[in-house]
Amino acid sequence: MIRLEHIDKRFGDHHVLKSIDLALAENSVTALIGPSGSGKSTLLRCVNLLEVPDAGRLVLGSTALTLVPGKAPARESVQAIRRKTGMVFQNFQLFPHLSVVANVMEGLVTVQRWDRPRARKRALELLDRVGIADKADAWPTTLSGGQQQRVAIARALAPSPQILLCDEPTSALDPGLAAEVVEVLRSLAAEGTTMLMATHDLRLAATIAREVVFLSDGEIVESGTPRDVFTRPREPRTASFVATITQGLPEDWKRPA
Ligand SMILES: Nc1ncnc2c1ncn2[C@@H]1O[C@H](COP(=O)(O)OP(=O)(O)OP(=O)(O)O)[C@@H](O)[C@H]1O
């Protein structure tokens, strides 16, 4: 069970997340959509505590953490939450001084204290899983963006997280390379990987998400299946947002003009 309860976050006077409540279906994908600046990245970063919410409660399986205003969470609680999450960033964020396989092994060796042969075996399995085992000993900078993002996905999955957080995983890629990454994410979704994904790519959301959550100005305006949110939005704010970005949706999903 993964739940966010009353998650609140301000940056100075800017109230970026306003009491967000979200229950994530396990073994399925939830896509966060919304205008630029609506708080999607901040919400993802609150789940793994890259940003510490000012208040609210996070529940990731057996680990629950209540955030108390003005009080930093205990280090052990932060580590417990982080161990249950993996994150994929828009710009891959691979370690440039490490080979591809060493990037995937890094967390297993330094955080989980696995011995190197065991970590390498796991890393090679994951590189194979994302279709890039032949690049194991290459340097990240010699890879295409799509290949780098696949390495980043393998790295995020290495510690077997309960949830994969994806922050605009395809938006730095041109369409051909984005399609490679979509395919990997689609097959992970089909295998039951639980994901929370911020994306401007409605086609990606429509392809792999079971639920779409529309965020506007730090609030959840509405949520539902991709088809419902994209073709039958209930709220005017959702309707006007969706109308601006229907490109990429299946033809029969587009709202009549
Ligand atoms: N570390 C920070 N310090 C101050 N303000 C921040 C910080 N991080 C985000 N913000 C602000 O919080 C708001 C929400 O940002 P966020 O990146 O979460 O939005 P988003 O919906 O992901 O946007 P985009 O679609 O453009 O990525 C924005 O106004 C942003 O400028």
Contacts of 77 (CB under 8 A, 6+ apart): 63, 65
Ligand 1 pocket mutation pick from 10, 15, 40 by most atoms within 8 angstroms of CB: 40
Residue nearest to atom 30 of ligand 1 (CA): 37
Q: What is the pLDDT of residues 152-171, one digit of tens each?
A: 999 999 999 999 999 999 99
Cβ atoms of 91 and 170 closer than 8 Å: no
Q: What is the mean pLDDT of residues 228-256?
A: 80
How far apart are the CA of 41 and the centre of ligand 1, in A?
Answer: 7
Angle at CA 7, nearest 5°, toward 185 and 90?
30
Distance between CA 98 and CA 33 in Å, rounded?
Answer: 33
How far apart are the CA of 34 and the centre of ligand 1, in A?
Answer: 12
Ligand 1 pocket mutation pick from 8, 42, 166 by most atoms within 8 angstroms of CB: 42
pLDDT higher for 1 or 224? 224
Q: Give the ligand 1 atom nearest the CA of 44.
A: 18
Q: What is the pLDDT of residues 101-138, one digit of tens each?
A: 999 999 999 988 999 999 999 999 999 999 999 999 99
Residue nearest to atom 10 of ligand 1 (CA): 11
Distance between CA 86 and CA 162 in Å, rounded?
Answer: 8
Q: What is the pLDDT of residues 185-230, one digit of tens each?
A: 999 999 999 999 999 888 889 889 999 999 999 999 999 999 999 9
pLDDT (0 to 100) of residue 254:
60
Cβ atoms of 23 and 2 closer than 8 Å: yes
> Does 37 sit in the ligand 1 pocket, CB within 6 Å?
yes
Distance between CA 64 and CA 50 in Å, rounded?
Answer: 16
Which of 247, 255, 170 has its CA nearest to residue 208?
A: 170
Q: How confident is the model at residue 256 (pLDDT cuts 50, 70, 90)?
A: very low
Residue nearest to atom 28 of ligand 1 (CA): 37
Q: Is the pLDDT of residue 246 over 80?
A: no
Q: Give the ligand 1 atom nearest the CA of 218.
A: 14
Ligand 1 pocket mutation pick from 11, 91, 216, 241 by most atoms within 8 angstroms of CB: 11
Residue nearest to atom 31 of ligand 1 (CA): 37
> Does 41 sit in the ligand 1 pocket, CB within 6 Å?
yes
Kindly list the strands in the beta sheet with 85-88, ordered across the sheet, starting from the edge strand earlier in the chain. 85-88, 163-167, 195-198, 29-33, 211-216, 219-224
Domains of the chain: residue spans and CATH: 1-84+196-203+210-257 (3.40.50.300)
Q: Is the dihedral of CA 159, 164, 169, 175 positive or negative?
A: positive
